Amino acid sequence: MFSSQSDIAYLEVAKDDASTYEKDLTDREKIRHSLPKVILLIIIAIIAIFATVYSAVEAAIIRQAHIRSNDDGRIMISNSTISMSDQIEEQPRPPYESCGHNPTEARRRGCSFDISSFAWLTPECYNDELTQDFISWSNWTWYTSEDSSDNTQLSFDTAMLGEQDTFVDWRYHMVHCTFMWRLQHLSMENGWVGRHLVNFEHTMHCQHALLMDAYDNRDVRTPAYVMYPRCLEVGMTKGMYPGPSKR
């Protein structure tokens, strides 16, 4: 049976339609298979953007904390520029927390003797400028006896060695109190404070001495004992010397 030209044309059109239809099916199949990959890429991109924003915000917060710690005078963070990849480390701790138990050990540890408080102090807690100011404040006298009738004295050089206890007059005692308060303030700025300075009872004692005993005890001598207080980081002394209990 022979086909007419119209039949042949019809068959060719039908064949083209079938090819187009198959091509559409193939394209749809490709899109269907590639759609999860596209969605996955979009999710990854969103996560990457979120991580970048989070890193920038966290770095800004840490940098602000670094600035506040410097303003507070404390040694906390050594990095000047901080990012997520930076490792935040504290500065090395001082080699010694105290000066030991005797002048020889104190010198070996690099400590200095503060004549205003009769304390051997580590470099972190010692303030040479304040000590020199105290020395030049008056022509101080150090006695070997608490008896005011005994005027045997220690020389300045001997007293400065910090090797023996002594006795001082009441004026020395009062000036000592004011210098301890000055040292307390400077210690807060420096970030290190001697344990003897955070004793609340000593603060109350000095207040009483200055306000009530200033004239009654002009001829009284008070002992000055050589001591070796610990040098503590500011903030680590909380609760060490509680104030007076409430009644």
Worst-scoring range by mean pLDDT, 33-37, 113-117, 123-127? 33-37
Measure the CA–CA gap between 176 and 172, rounded to whole angstroms.
6
> Which of 59, 92, 125 is at the close of a domain?
92
Structural contact between residues 223 and 148, judged by C-beta atoms closer than 8 angstroms: no
Say if 244 falls within a structural domain: no
Side chain identity at residue 95, one-letter code: P
Pair 128, 228 in one domain: yes
Residues 57 and 84: their CA atoms lie apart, in Å, by 10
Is 98 among the domain residues? no
Q: Give the structural domain span for 67.
A: 1-92
Rounded to an integer, what distance in angstroms lies between the CA atom of residue 116 and that of residue 188?
18
Indicate whether 122 and 162 sit together in one domain: yes
> Is residue 112 domain-resident?
yes
The answer to pTM > 0.85 is no
Assess if residue 241 is contained within a domain: no
| CA separation for the pair 115, 159 (Å, rounded) | 8
Cα 183 → chain centroid: 19
* 187-241 tens-digit pLDDT: 989 899 999 998 888 889 888 888 876 666 677 888 999 999 999 998 766 555 4
- On whether residue 1 sits in a domain, the answer given is yes
For the chain, how many structural domains are there in total? Answer: 2
Domain boundary among 60, 92, 124: 92
Residues 84 and 120 grouped into a single domain: no
